[in-house]
Amino acid sequence: MSRTPGDLVATPGQTIGPFYGYALPYDGDSALVPPGHPDAIRLHGRVLDGAGNPVPDALLEIWQADPAGRVPREPGSLHRDGFTFTGWGRCGTDNAGHYSFTTLRPGPTKAGAAPFVAVTLFARGLLNRLFTRTYLPGDTDDTRAALAADPLLSSVDASRRGTLVAVPDEHGFAFDIRLQGEDETVFLAHPQH
């Protein structure tokens, strides 16, 4: 039986299984820069389900601009060389739902824009990956003005904006991702997803 391209129907994505625990991690996956780098920051947090329980087998990927606001296009993200910043990393959660990246503070990609880190989440029970952002707060007037003027952040209901902004702490910046329920993280629709 032959088919024409127009009569094929897309099928739903597979649910994520525990196979990510051994198939996708690699040495240095969560270290976009070495922890001892003089400008290194730590972006860390937890992935929680709707009941507030940790998700121990989630996988997060981040993409970001460098501190100058340039989106890196260097190859080699899977083979860290210790000095090339590729702007991409991957990290699985531990049994308590924690994740941690060592990276650089991103710069704005255009004047007046708020810098952010793009986050993609894969987890059990999700038919498709989830997209979100985390904005890193700052203590300068320019940073506060950029956050207040950011088109995406200002389009989100004021009561939910906090789910997109990391919180500074003694370890760097904490960003918890809540899949459902109270304080559910704002997730984004990707134009080609």
> What CATH number did the domain enclosing 63 receive?
2.60.130.10
Give per-residue pLDDT as tens, 25-61: 677 889 999 888 999 999 999 999 999 999 998 999 9
* CB-facing half-sphere around the CA of 166: CA atoms within 13 A: 29
Looking at the domain assignment, is residue 171 inside a domain? yes
The band of 79, judged by pLDDT with boundaries at 50, 70 and 90, is confident
Please tell me the total count of domains within the chain: 1
Say if residue 10's pLDDT is above 60: no
Q: What percent of the chain has pLDDT over 90?
A: 56
Residue 118 φ/ψ region, left for φ over 0, alpha for ψ in the -120 to 50 degree band, beta for the rest: beta
Give per-residue pLDDT as tens, 139-159: 778 888 889 889 899 999 999
More confident residue, 167 or 111: 167
E-only strand ranges, 105-154: 116-122, 130-135
Print the domain residue range for 123.
Answer: 15-178
Q: What is the dihedral of CA 52, 57, 58, 64, to 10 degrees?
A: 120
Give per-residue pLDDT as tens, 115-127: 999 999 998 888 7
More confident residue, 71 or 3: 71
Looking at the domain assignment, is residue 120 inside a domain? yes
Q: What percent of the chain has pLDDT over 70?
A: 85
Say if residue 20's pLDDT is above 80: no
Looking at the domain assignment, is residue 187 inside a domain? no
Say if residue 22's pLDDT is above 70: no
How confident is the model at residue 175, as a pLDDT? 98
Cβ 89 vs Cβ 26: under 8 Å: no
Cβ 138 vs Cβ 128: under 8 Å: no
Looking at the domain assignment, is residue 8 inside a domain? no
Say if residue 133's pLDDT is above 70: yes
How confident is the model at residue 59, as a pLDDT? 92
Looking at the domain assignment, is residue 95 inside a domain? yes
Looking at the domain assignment, is residue 119 inside a domain? yes
Span 8-14, mean pLDDT? 55
pTM given for the model: 0.85
Looking at the domain assignment, is residue 32 inside a domain? yes
Q: Distance between terminal CA atoms of the chain?
A: 30
Looking at the domain assignment, is residue 2 inside a domain? no
